[in-house]
Amino acid sequence: MTDCCAHESPESGDARFDIMKVADGVYAAVAAPAYKVNCNTAIIESDDGVVIVDTHSKPSAARVIVDRLRELTPKPVRYVINTHFHWDHWHGNEVYPAAHPGAEIVSNDITREAMRRKGLKRIDDHRRQVPVEIAKLKADLAAAGTPAERKQLEANVRLAEAYLAEVRTLQPALPTIVFEQTMKLYRRDREIHLLHLGRAHTEGDVFVYLPKEKIVITGDAMIGWTPYMGDGYPEDWVGTLDRLAQLDFTHIIMGHGEVAGRDWLRTFRSYVHDMVEAVRHEVAAGATLDEVKQRVPTKLAPTYEKAFSKYGEYRPWRAGLLANIERTFAMVS
């Protein structure tokens, strides 16, 4: 893997990506961690056009990718795949049909329905909630003690304000093509499989699999830090990852974090498994939520804290774990 495109290009937004070549014509645009998170994008070039996987939290971030695509290929974007319904993976959808007329947005029917029922409502929620969030950040800024704290909070205020401006004018673009279990794109030089393997991070997670190149794109069913389970199914997650593990691949382009190998799949799967089993064990023994939140981190930290702290500055392991425990406790109780 090489960093193919380190030079600066004219970028239209504040999102920053490292574009890595994963195989010939297949790239991972790895988003720099930030206060307002952007997802990674996978870029798959074929003989007649480009397939994009996921579109970030706001149109300007997707426009950064549209600009940088010109460094890679003159071909048009034909398909945009959404892996799930979360804001940071589809709010940039509108950019692609505008920049590449005829581009289709593809997901499974479960994810399109989740966007329609929940995603659209959350856009309204964000329009109401982000001003409150900005006011809180500004109050924190006024009270900040150190120059480093001030600098961080100022950057967070800028990102929150930029996000608010864009979410206010968002033109949500829902998928134009949906599938149920599987959809396959056969291009002259490439096969692209879209798979629903069961519930994990959401009810409709889509995996994109390139069998010849041995690459899988997971959305947030696998990420580089502690998974978010707020809309997830912790008890189903391991089974879904086990079905994923049956595929033949060597490289994993995740929803967030750097490109990984199968070793990270093993670690990630075993974290989800051990967390769920530890919570189940405590619940069966009659423990309260407070007791579970005391005991389970102590049990898991020696094995997992270091591995899941690579992006700890942005996504602290312990906060993520406690949220996972709460979700799992609610699901198994």
**Interface positions with Zn ion (CB under 5 A):** 39, 88, 220, 255
Q: Which is nearer to Zn ion, 175 or 232 (CB)?
A: 232
Nearest distance in Å: CB 82, Zn ion: 11
Q: Which is nearer to Zn ion, 191 or 231 (CB)?
A: 231
Nearest distance in Å: CB 35, Zn ion: 14
Residue 327 CA to residue 137 CA, distance in Å, equals 27
Nearest distance in Å: CB 41, Zn ion: 12
Residue 212 CA to residue 190 CA, distance in Å, equals 8
Helices 317-332 and 289-304 pack at an angle, to 10 degrees, of 130
Q: Which is nearer to Zn ion, 46 or 107 (CB)?
A: 107
For the record, the structure tokens of 227 come out as 């998974």
Nearest distance in Å: CB 84, Zn ion: 8
Nearest distance in Å: CB 203, Zn ion: 15
User: Which 3-state string (H, E, C) describes 132-197?
Assistant: HHHHHHHHHHHCCCCHHHHHHHHHHHHHHHHHHHHHHCCCCCCCCEEECCEEEEEECCEEEEEECC
Q: Which is nearer to Zn ion, 37 or 283 (CB)?
A: 37
Residue 131 CA to residue 160 CA, distance in Å, equals 8
SS3 86: coil
Residue 204 CA to residue 83 CA, distance in Å, equals 8
Residues 6+ apart with CB under 8 A from 261: 250, 251, 252
* Bridge partners of residue 182, in order along the sequence: 195
- What is the separation of C-alpha 299 from the centre of its chain, rounded to a whole number of angstroms? 27
Q: Which is nearer to Zn ion, 167 or 296 (CB)?
A: 167
Q: Which is nearer to Zn ion, 45 or 54 (CB)?
A: 54
Nearest distance in Å: CB 88, Zn ion: 4
Q: Which is nearer to Zn ion, 88 or 236 (CB)?
A: 88
Nearest distance in Å: CB 191, Zn ion: 26
Alpha-carbon distances of 141 from 35, 153, 215, 314, 316, rounded to whole Å: 15, 6, 43, 18, 21
244 contacts 197 by C-beta, under 8 angstroms = yes
DSSP 260: B
| Phi, psi angle pair for 108, to nearest 5° | -90, 170
Q: Which is nearer to Zn ion, 175 or 255 (CB)?
A: 255
* Bridge partners of residue 21, in order along the sequence: 2, 27
Nearest distance in Å: CB 322, Zn ion: 19
Q: Which is nearer to Zn ion, 198 or 255 (CB)?
A: 255
Nearest distance in Å: CB 31, Zn ion: 9
* Bridge partners of residue 27, in order along the sequence: 21, 43
